[in-house]
Amino acid sequence: MTPLLPAPKSLEGPSKKKSRKHQRFMERRALLEQKGLLSPHRQAPVVGPEACSTLTEAGGTTALCCRKVPKPKQVISPSLSPSASPDSIARHHSVLLSQGNGSSKGVRTSSLVLRPGKYVAIDCEMVGTGPQGRQSELARCSVVNYDGDVIYDKYVQPELPIVDYRTRWSGITKRHMKSAIPFKAAQAEILKILKDKIVVGHAIHNDFQALKYFHPKDRTRDTSRIPVLNQRAGLPIRASVSLKSLARHLLHKNIQVGCKGHSSVEDAQTAMELYRLVEVQWETELARTLPPRPPSPITDPSTDSNQYMDDRYWPTDLMASSL
């Protein structure tokens, strides 16, 4: 005859009894819920290292059985909060990429899966306006995505009359202005694309100046200001190297050739290719130079609403009615 298992002891021993302070806390919470001043408290699911289940033995008795619950795999860096912004994720890009194999294919996959559409590259062509054509104004803007596909390419009518088309460098001619759109319209369309994006470009401050726009520094990747590119090309680290030179040394292709001027589409695509070439190392360096992150609202004691359940925050009459 199989002996019956002894009935389990009560889980509530002396050590498990709630303290008086906790009882007051629960009574006040119940009072607030009754008055409609606090939403009902929901029991949180078991997420600890152990979870208990009830087993029924052959004799009809029950017993508790605890087992280990495997922790879910982390998809994002543990140093980021669940509500991390796109630029914060970009800052910790090196941590995310370290979960892969480190190859260029792995880099591209990680970026696209975690932040689809968050990378764009831009290039603008300018013409001369004002006295003697010395003032630069936007005449064409091209934007490409992470894969180099064109998502924007339009000619733009400057706000002032054009004095110098600068065709040798800009590739802009008078006939292009027949299909140009007003600057204000183009500016609105372009800034809508750039919003919340990681923007790549070469000497990109010139493009932002032509757009009369300032993009957040931590979301800007200027290929003319990254020493690792110069180092890989065998050029002086602190030198300001042209996009054409970097493309020839690192991508083994010739751009900006001939007398018809530059192509803003080609230049934007080249800048994105250069960025992807050193993406892992670049983002790693950026992550090392980040300022300390502010404390999370979840763990910051100053924002914990439970502190207001303490005695000193309760009126005497309300305390008397709740006890």
Tally helices (H) and strands (E) across the chain. Answer: 12, 9
Structure tokens at 315: 């009126």
Which H, E and C letters describe 89-110, residue by residue?
A: HHHCHHHHHCCCCCCHHHHHHH
Which pLDDT value is given to residue 107?
Answer: 42
How far apart are alpha carbons 96 and 42 in whole angstroms? 34
Residue 125: pLDDT band with limits 50, 70, 90: very high
123, β-bridge pairs: 142
Structure tokens at 64: 């508790």
Which pLDDT value is given to residue 225?
Answer: 85
Closest to 126 (Cα-Cα) out of 158, 94, 159, 84: 158
Which pLDDT value is given to residue 131?
Answer: 93
Which pLDDT value is given to residue 104?
Answer: 40
How far apart are alpha carbons 234 and 228 in whole angstroms? 10
Closest to 246 (Cα-Cα) out of 221, 229, 264, 260: 229
Which pLDDT value is given to residue 72?
Answer: 44
Out of 3.40.50.720, 3.40.390.10, 3.30.420.10, 3.40.50.300, select the CATH number for domain 119-289.
3.30.420.10
Mean pLDDT over 76-105 rounds to: 45
Residue 276: pLDDT band with limits 50, 70, 90: very high
Length of the chain, in residues: 323
Which pLDDT value is given to residue 144?
Answer: 96
pLDDT at 162 exceeding the cut of 60: yes
Which pLDDT value is given to residue 41?
Answer: 60
Mean pLDDT over 243-271 rounds to: 88
User: What's the mean pLDDT when you consider all of the chain?
Assistant: 74
Which pLDDT value is given to residue 69?
Answer: 45
The residue extents of the domains of the chain are 119-289
Query: Helix, strand, coil % (nearest 5) of the chain?
Result: 40, 15, 40
The highest-confidence range among 15-19, 173-177, 227-231, by mean pLDDT, is: 173-177
Closest to 117 (Cα-Cα) out of 160, 139, 83, 147: 147
Residues 6+ apart with CB under 8 A from 133: 127, 162, 163, 164, 166
Q: What is the pLDDT of residues 133-160, one digit of tens each?
A: 999 999 999 999 999 999 999 999 999 9
Which pLDDT value is given to residue 295?
Answer: 52
Tokens 């606090």 label which residue?
38
